[in-house]
Amino acid sequence: MKLLVSNDDGIFALGIRALANSLAAAGHQVTVVCPDRERSATGHGLTLHKPIRAEQVESVFAAGIPAWACSGTPSDCVKLALGALLEEPPDMVLSGINHGANLGTDVLYSGTVSAAMEGVMEGIPSIAFSLSSFAVQEFQPAANFARALVAQLSASPLPEAMLLNVNVPAVSESEIAGIAITRQGLRRYFDQFEKRVDPRGKTYYWLAGEVLEEVNDTPFDSAEALKLKGTDFDLAWFQQIPTDVQAIRRNYVTITPLQSNLTCALSIASLQDRKFDF
C-alpha cells in the first residue's frame, strides 16, 4: 500500500520513526511529511498568513523512505503532501505514533487526530495512533499493532473513508488485554494558569493542570452491547459500548471510529420540538 505518514510531535520523534520504519519493513511504500518541530495540541489549525516551507530530510528514517519536514501544522503537512508533494494520492493516511494518549475530548485538540482527519476529508481512510504514556519510550508494541492493522485493512478495506482513532496501552505486548471497539469518552482537565515573571519583569502565564477522568462509568461489557444491537440506531446499545477512556485503563488497545461531521444527531429532534422566534 502507498502510505502517507505524519504526526504532531515533529520529524525527530521516536513514535513516527517506529511507525514509518515498521511499515516500510513490511513492504509498504511509505512517505513521511510532518512538522519540523513539535506542534502538539494545535488542533486543526492551518497556516494562512505566512508561507509554508518543506525541506526533504535524510538519515532520519530507514533507507528508501522519502521524508519532508514542514514548517506548518500537522493539518498543513497532510494538505501539502496531498496537494503538492505526492505524485498520486496514498491508499491511507497514518498519523503518529503520538507520545501520549488521545482519548475522549483530547481529539478536539489533538494535532495527531487532525492530521488523520485531513485524509478523511479528502476521501482517504486514515488512522491516528497514540501510545498512552508520556513517560514510556518503547513504541515497538504500538508499531507492531499498526503494522498488523494496516495489513488487515489492506486485505479487507473499510466500507467507507473513516478515521480510526487508535490508542495503545503503554505496556508490553504480553500485558495487552485485547482489542476493544470503543466510543469516544469524556476526559476533562482541571486547567490552571501559573503566573510567572520573565527576566525583563514582564508577566506571562503557563498553562498547567491535570486530567480528570470521566465520572459516569458504564459497565465494560462488549458482549452485552452486542446483544442489544438492533437494526436501527439504538441508544441503549450505544451506551453499553465501552469508552476509550475505560478500555485503555484495562490495558485494551482501543479503536474508536471518528468523523468530521460534528452534528449532534440525537439533539435534532428535541430542537425541532421547540419554537424559536426571530
Which residues line the annotated binding site? Answer: 8-9, 40, 98
Q: Would you tell me the crossing angle of helices 140-155 and 14-25 to the nearest 10 degrees?
A: 40
Q: Is 173 exposed, middle or buried (0-12, 13-18, 19+ CB in 10 A)?
A: exposed
Binding residues for a divalent metal cation: 8-9, 40, 98
Are the beta carbons of 106 and 119 closer than 8 angstroms?
Answer: no
- CA–CA distance, 25 with 9 (Å, rounded to integer): 22
CA distance linking residue 273 with residue 159, whole number of Å: 35
Are 135 and 141 in contact by the 8 Å Cβ rule? The answer is: no
Report how far residue 267's alpha carbon sits from residue 206's, in angstroms, rounded to the nearest whole number.
37
C-alpha cell at 129: 495512533
- Residues 215/140, Cβ–Cβ less than 8 Å: no
DSSP 31: E
- Give the list of residues 6+ apart from residue 119 with CB closer than 8 angstroms, or none: 4, 78, 82, 90, 92, 93, 125, 126, 161, 163
Is the bond leading into 176 cis (omega within 30 degrees of zero)?
Answer: no
Measure the CA–CA gap between 78 and 94, rounded to whole angstroms: 10
